């Protein structure tokens, strides 16, 4: 039986590395019994369409979304379907997610369009050890000189991530509950495993309009096509790791939900409402809970389908 990692790579190969268009469908082979389907808060999703929502096509992955201020000192500098966040401070900046190496110039252009210097990025964080989020770490460090920080459980996967043969830089290894502080802003790293062994959800507090807000940047809680939740020889307790991730996530106070894929917090819809008066649309605690409900329901559906198949 193939390893968990090999199955994931096979399932996502066309969208992550190929030339799929924005309208292309995920090409993972349909599992026995069909795609697990859930209906949550009036919306119906299959495992396949949920992944498609997050990834989009190759053009979505490399086309800059308009850079903008989200809340407090947090800015969006990512693409249409791969999120990168800039946290600006008086002592330099923190960047979360370098994305694919090919996207580093796209991110640089967005950072500079907001009036910031790329060389002022002092710390580079990541959400989880998949190429669409952290492949560009070496290129990003070469351009900015930033310190690269990684969750311990993701280090082995990151060390194998060497685009063009470049070693993956890791300057600081962190663990669950560790903090990263720069210029008066402190982020807390929460281990939310399952999607990868070291998948990391970051939290921080910001102030807007005199109000203190809790921000949660979700690493990922998705069960992609090809993930093996039952009889996984490489990660026998993977289902328990996902359960831990949901428990931790539900325990985090959240006013502003963000995530490694912008569709997970409905960026496009919220951005369209900016500057139209009223409450900042990114302040959305109900949206955080709704996304947790969706991803946990899908996890349960996939787990049940795989358990049924294994029982046969």
User: How open is the CA angle 252-258-261, to the nearest 5 degrees?
Assistant: 125
CATH number for position 120: 3.60.15.10
Model confidence pLDDT, tens digit, residues 184-212: 999 999 999 999 999 999 999 999 999 99
Model confidence pLDDT, tens digit, residues 221-251: 999 999 999 999 999 999 999 999 999 999 9
Q: Give the range of the structural domain holding residue 64, as residue numbers without chain letter.
A: 4-311
Cα–Cα distance for residue pair 279/275, rounded to 1 Å: 10
User: What's the total number of domains in the chain?
Assistant: 1
Q: For residue 24, what is the DSSP state?
A: P
- pLDDT band of 28, cuts 50, 70, 90: confident
- As given in the structure block, the two tokens for residue 195 are 């999607």
Strands lying side by side in the sheet with 92-96 = 68-71, 74-76, 85-89, 92-96, 121-125, 147-151, 172-174
Q: pTM value?
A: 0.92
Residue 27 has pLDDT above 80, yes or no: no
């Amino acid at each position: 039986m193939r390893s968990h990692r090999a199955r994931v790579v096979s399932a996502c190969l066309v969208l992550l590395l190929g030339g799929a268009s924005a309208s292309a469908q995920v090409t993972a082979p349909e599992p026995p019994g069909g795609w697990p389907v859930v209906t949550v808060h009036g919306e119906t999703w299959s495992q396949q369409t949920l992944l498609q929502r997050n990834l989009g096509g190759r053009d979505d992955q490399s086309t800059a979304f308009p850079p903008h201020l989200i809340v407090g000192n947090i800015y969006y500098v990512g693409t249409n379907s791969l999120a990168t966040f800039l946290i600006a401070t008086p002592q330099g900046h923190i960047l979360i997610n370098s994305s694919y190496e090919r996207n580093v110039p796209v991110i640089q252009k967005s950072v500079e369009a907001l009036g910031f210097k790329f060389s002022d990025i002092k710390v580079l964080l990541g959400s989880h050890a998949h190429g669409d989020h952290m492949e560009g770490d070496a290129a990003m460090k070469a351009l900015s000189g930033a310190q690269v920080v990684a969750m311990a459980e993701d280090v082995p996967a990151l060390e194998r991530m060497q685009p063009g043969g470049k070693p993956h830089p890791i300057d600081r290894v962190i663990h669950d509950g560790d903090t990263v502080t720069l210029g008066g802003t402190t982020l807390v790293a929460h281990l939310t495993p399952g999607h990868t062994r070291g998948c990391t959800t970051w939290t921080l507090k910001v102030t807007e309009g005199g109000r203190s807000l809790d921000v949660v940047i979700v690493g990922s809680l998705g069960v992609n096509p090809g993930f093996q939740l039952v009889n996984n020889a490489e990660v026998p307790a993977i289902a328990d790791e996902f359960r831990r991730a949901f428990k931790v996530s539900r325990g985090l106070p959240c006013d502003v939900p963000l995530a490694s894929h912008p569709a997970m917090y409905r960026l496009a819809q919220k951005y369209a409402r900016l500057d139209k008066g009223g409450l900042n649309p990114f302040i959305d605690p109900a949206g955080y809970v709704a996304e947790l409900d969706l991803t946990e329901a899908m996890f349960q559906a996939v787990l049940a389908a795989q358990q049924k198949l294994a029982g046969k």
